[in-house]
Structure 1
Amino acid sequence: MRSEGLRKKKDGSLVHVSILGAPIFIEGKQVGIYTIYRDITARKEAEQEKEFYDSLLRHDVANRNTIIQGSLELLAEEDLTEEQKAIVENALKASHSSTELIEMIRNLRRIGGEQSFALIDLHEVLSKVVSILEQQAKNKGIEIVYSPIHGIVKAGSLIENAFSNIIQNAIIHSNCSKIIISGKEEKRDGKTFYRISIEDNGRGIPADIRKNIFSIGVKGKGSPGSGLGLYLVKKIIESYGGEIVIREPENGKGTIFDVYLPKFE
């Protein structure tokens, strides 16, 4: 028997405890319960503090960001000089980056906490992500070629964030003209996985960055990002029992991200 609760100390103060109990039997009859109490007050206080900062981040900071963005967007509609327009545009970019960073931190917390898993249709997720990002790609002269991937995996809602992040990285940073998304089944250590490959024909990623690309804080030169994006992707994929690897195409042009997810059978 395991549980948690509050208990009173000799001085009258209350402490959070975890309770582990085991029945005591004598000649087949239960005569009592052997109980062990462990003080978990420090853990409970840390959890409460964590919840407070999470609430602060999600509500107070995020709401203020929204107000700032709304005010800047209204200001941008005024009759401004070119210099003033540039200042407002830079402020808007910084505000949007701040909002994206908050969302990344929230998602990292979700990975570490309780996630709700379900059977996910890969084609449904990928086609949705492509439809959302297609216009952004077209605006940069990029063609997205998606070959439907039909398969079921057990994952959570963050899987959409993972694929979106990889594709958006290619759109924003790779200087490519085409992004190809394809998939196939593969056996790995006796288990069947879906390999989803996202390939661009851009400038590629330097070897010194590529080897640490999934580490926290790693980003391309001149990138304004936080360096959390691909680190977050890796954590999401691994939380679903999968793996993500990066490789260079055979022709040496561009980058391929391979996402491996266990097939649901």
Structure 2
Amino acid sequence: MTFLDRTPDIILTMNEEGVIVSQNETARRVFGDVGGKIYSEICKDDTCSVGDRYYSMVAIKGFRRTIVVGRDITERIRLEKELEDRERKFKALAELSPAGILVHHQGTILFVNEALCQIHGYTREELLNRKVWDLIHPDYHDLARAMMQKRLEGEKPVYELKTIRKDGSERWVLVAGGAIDWDGKKSVMAFAIDITDKKMIEQRLAEREELFRSIFNISPAGLYILVGGKFKLVNPAFERITGYSAEELVGMKSLEIVAEEDREFVRRKAIEMLKGRETEPYKYRVVRKDGKIRWVYENVASIAYEGERAALGSVIDITEIEEERKRLEELTSMLELINKTLRHDVLNALTSAMALLEMGIEESNKDYLNKALTSINRAVSIVRNMRAFEDAVKSGELRCIDVGELVSEVAKSFENVSVKGEGRALADEGLRSVVENIVNNAFIHSGTDRVEITVSEGKEWCEIRIADFGIGIPDEIKQRIFEEGFKYGKAAQTGLGLFIARKIVERYAGEIWVEDNEPKGSVFVIRLKKC
């Protein structure tokens, strides 16, 4: 076997007429015995196919002879066909892809699909061989270069990029991709999804969020958001109402700042709201951080916040309004009382006095005249008591009163009244009427010959004890003597004096009651808040 027979290549020799005059062993194995045959009948082109094999044939002309060398290229042909098939499939997929696809080498565009053309408003022909930077907004060139470098280094970053269309309008795209070999060049393949609508929605949401935050924070009403019954967000006005900072409130249960006596009511309202029932605004009391009580008027609605079911509450501080309402109620009550008294008791007293005066004048009877004077004095007493009550309610705010000094001044209007001790309490001039009424009653009703007044202070209270040494007050009526219109004894008048005293003391958030004195008589105790 010669050297030519050992080579894996096909070796054929032809004469000038193209007739095969010799062949090596490889040619014989591939074509069979072809000696004497015309070469063009075996291979018409530079590539011969025999069965499922392909051979590349190269003719080398010499003097009077031509040598043809053939090499098996079946595997190469297979790979080429496979590559062509892949390219066909890639292009088909690329055209069907909703994402824009772009391939570039060092910034020069080598491939684009239809989706990318639509995103940017160019035709495919306009984009091929164009620089990719023409599509990217100048503000994002540095970002794009950095991401390109990362892709060439093997990374696969995903990022948002602002691009420019052919008409100059701007679009946002989400970009992903990586490095590939394209026609033997290390290139970058990028996938782009148009997210302009999403960015616009995000921008509008951000603007609304900013608007919400601005309104939320500058609102004069206290606003809060609850999630799971706990504060998630509060505004400055709510901080001012409660006295807590936002940091202290966030995470705190909302019921913790509600006055204990109102918690069940507020809890029921919250349940109604969460069940989807419409709830009218309502009021309740909150306990500030400093312990002070404030009245608030609240409206609550169910909302979604950060993907969770939540409650949005709006709170207005109505403490001053409630205090004014209470004061108006007291004034109304006072006017009703004064009206009732003037219509009934004063009219009766004056009617009686007129009748007694007529009889006394006609009969020159001093006893009738004295009785008439008593009736007139009774009417005067009623009017004075009403005036004192009116002044006390109208006075409005309480102030720190020197109780010892006030009681001493009252004692000067009577004989046999002693005062000892001192103290200060929250009250007003109405307290003077209370003390005068009790001292006057002691001399008129109990038959006492003296009254002793003691003023003292405790840790939280200032106490006034007005003691007489008369007949005393039966146990069965000790609670009733402060009721409106209650009368007892022969010297009883309107039944309003002690009722008015109680109403005045209650305005001071104080207490008044009566005890037995030793060895006899009664002690009226007035307990007021110390100041």
TM-score (norm 2): 0.33
Deviation for aligned residue 1:162? 0.4
- 3-state DSSP of counterpart to 2:491: coil
Deviation for aligned residue 1:261? 1.2
2:368 alignment counterpart: 87
Identity of aligned residues (%): 28
Query: What is the CA–CA distance in structure 1 between the aligned matches of 2:489 and 2:518, rounded to whole Å?
Result: 24
Deviation for aligned residue 1:124? 1.6
Query: What is the CA–CA distance in structure 2 between the aligned matches of 1:93 and 1:237, rounded to whole Å?
Result: 29
Query: What is the CA–CA distance in structure 2 between the aligned matches of 1:160 and 1:109, rounded to whole Å?
Result: 13
Q: 1:261 to 1:100 in 2, by over 3 A?
A: same
Aligned partners of 2:385 and 2:433 also within 8 Å: no
Query: What is the CA–CA distance in structure 1 between the aligned matches of 2:515 and 2:424, rounded to whole Å?
Result: 25
Q: 1:133 to 1:250 in 2, by over 3 A?
A: closer
Deviation for aligned residue 1:26? 4.5
**Residue among 430, 436, 453 paired with 1:181:** 453
Query: What is the CA–CA distance in structure 1 between the aligned matches of 2:439 and 2:507, rounded to whole Å?
Result: 20
Q: 1:225 to 1:26 in 2, by over 3 A?
A: same
Structure 1 residue 127 and structure 2 residue 408: aligned?
Answer: yes
Query: What is the CA–CA distance in structure 2 between the aligned matches of 1:150 and 1:111, rounded to whole Å?
Result: 22
Query: What is the CA–CA distance in structure 1 between the aligned matches of 2:370 and 2:463, rounded to whole Å?
Result: 40
Structure 1 residue 210 and structure 2 residue 478: aligned?
Answer: yes
2:488 alignment counterpart: 220
Residues 109-162 of structure 1, C-alpha deviations (whole Å, 9 max, x = no match): 45555524222111221111000122xxxxxxxx32221x32221211101000
Task: Give the alignment of 1:34-53 within 5 angstroms.
Answer: none
Deviation for aligned residue 1:183? 2.3
Structure 1 residue 150 and structure 2 residue 422: aligned?
Answer: yes
2:436 alignment counterpart: 164
Aligned partners of 2:455 and 2:462 also within 8 Å: yes
1:256 alignment counterpart: 523
Residues 207-236 of structure 1, C-alpha deviations (whole Å, 9 max, x = no match): 222231111111222234111111111111
Aligned partners of 1:214 and 1:231 also within 8 Å: yes
**Residue among 497, 503, 511 paired with 1:235:** 503
Query: What is the CA–CA distance in structure 2 between the aligned matches of 1:221 and 1:155, rounded to whole Å?
Result: 31
Query: What is the CA–CA distance in structure 2 between the aligned matches of 1:160 and 1:199, rounded to whole Å?
Result: 17
Name structure 1 gaps, 5 residues minimum. 1-24, 37-42, 135-142
Query: What is the CA–CA distance in structure 1 between the aligned matches of 2:530 and 2:220, rounded to whole Å?
Result: 45
Structure 1 residue 28 and structure 2 residue 28: aligned?
Answer: no
Task: Please tell me the residue identity of whatever aligns with 2:426.
Answer: K
Deviation for aligned residue 1:27? 5.6
Aligned partners of 1:111 and 1:235 also within 8 Å: no
Query: What is the CA–CA distance in structure 2 between the aligned matches of 1:235 and 1:101, rounded to whole Å?
Result: 16
Query: What is the CA–CA distance in structure 2 between the aligned matches of 1:236 and 1:98, rounded to whole Å?
Result: 21
Structure 1 residue 101 and structure 2 residue 382: aligned?
Answer: yes
Query: What is the CA–CA distance in structure 2 between the aligned matches of 1:237 and 1:33, rounded to whole Å?
Result: 37
Query: What is the CA–CA distance in structure 1 between the aligned matches of 2:220 and 2:503, rounded to whole Å?
Result: 42
- Relative CO higher for 1 or 2, CA cutoff 8 Å, sep ≥ 6? 1
Query: What is the CA–CA distance in structure 1 between the aligned matches of 2:367 and 2:469, rounded to whole Å?
Result: 32
Q: 1:150 to 1:28 in 2, by over 3 A?
A: same
Query: What is the CA–CA distance in structure 1 between the aligned matches of 2:466 and 2:215, rounded to whole Å?
Result: 64
Greater Cα offset, 156-165 or 175-184: 175-184
Residues 150-202 of structure 1, C-alpha deviations (whole Å, 9 max, x = no match): 22212111010001111111111111122111122234xxxx21221111111
Aligned partners of 2:447 and 2:470 also within 8 Å: yes
Query: What is the CA–CA distance in structure 2 between the aligned matches of 1:158 and 1:33, rounded to whole Å?
Result: 38
Quick check: which has more Rg, 1 or 2?
2
**Residue among 104, 117, 121 paired with 2:398:** 117
How many residues are aligned here? Answer: 203
Task: Please tell me the residue identity of whatever aligns with 1:92.
Answer: L
Structure 1 residue 245 and structure 2 residue 489: aligned?
Answer: no
Query: What is the CA–CA distance in structure 2 between the aligned matches of 1:28 and 1:248, rounded to whole Å?
Result: 66
Query: What is the CA–CA distance in structure 1 between the aligned matches of 2:395 and 2:456, rounded to whole Å?
Result: 30
Aligned partners of 2:461 and 2:527 also within 8 Å: yes
Q: 1:29 to 1:207 in 2, by over 3 A?
A: closer
Q: 1:178 to 1:230 in 2, by over 3 A?
A: same
Aligned partners of 2:410 and 2:435 also within 8 Å: yes
Q: 1:108 to 1:127 in 2, by over 3 A?
A: closer
1:7 alignment counterpart: none
Task: Please tell me the residue identity of whatever aligns with 2:442.
Answer: A
